Amino acid sequence: MKEYLVLKNVSKIVNENYILKNINLKVSKGEIIGIVGLNGSGKTTLLKCILNFVNYDGEIYVDNRQNNFLDKTGFLIENPNLYLNLTGKENITFWLSFFDDIDMKYVSELCSLFNLNLNKKVRKYSLGMKQKLGLVLALINKPELLLLDEPTNGLDIKNIINLRNVLVNLDEATILISSHDINELSKICD
């Protein structure tokens, strides 16, 4: 299979301490990879490096490009970044403005699958509802690269299963998931 994501000697130093040290990784198109580690081991930092959200040493290529791939990327890193004074629908509408040619039927199906109350202000959402909205936003553009950091936080078992089904059925998406739940990762990762 074609290598879609390549990391070469990726390192991140904070206060003279290595958070990441010479990480090398090759992920083929369509693979689902789980990232497991202790708290503070650098899982989230690695995902942020791939997204170019933090400075790092080394090289990262997505589909043979070092930049300009975010239009084909979906992500949920740490907590969902949501506008709390907007409704779920208004958050989705705002996020849609960043993309061209979005399949609105697919977006509607995701919202229905996760049983989102789109007319409610996000500040009134529970932790699980915020997480589900964050997942919809991460998936909204049918990403070729999907980076998820502890995506099951706050989800009930039904929605964990729904998420699992969505992820394994994404056509040729390359997915990296950081999680403490090794059991869940073993059900979906290559």
pTM of the model: 0.93
- For residue range 148-176, list pLDDT tens digits in order: 999 999 999 999 999 999 999 988 899 99
Q: Where are the alpha helices (DSSP H) in 18-103?
A: 43-50, 88-96
Is residue 145 within 8 A of residue 4, CB to CB? The reply is: yes
> Whose CA is closest to 124, among 179, 86, 154, 89?
86
* Radius of gyration for the alpha carbons in the chain, expressed in angstroms and rounded: 16
SS3 113: helix
- For residue range 94-118, list pLDDT tens digits in order: 999 888 888 899 999 999 999 999 9
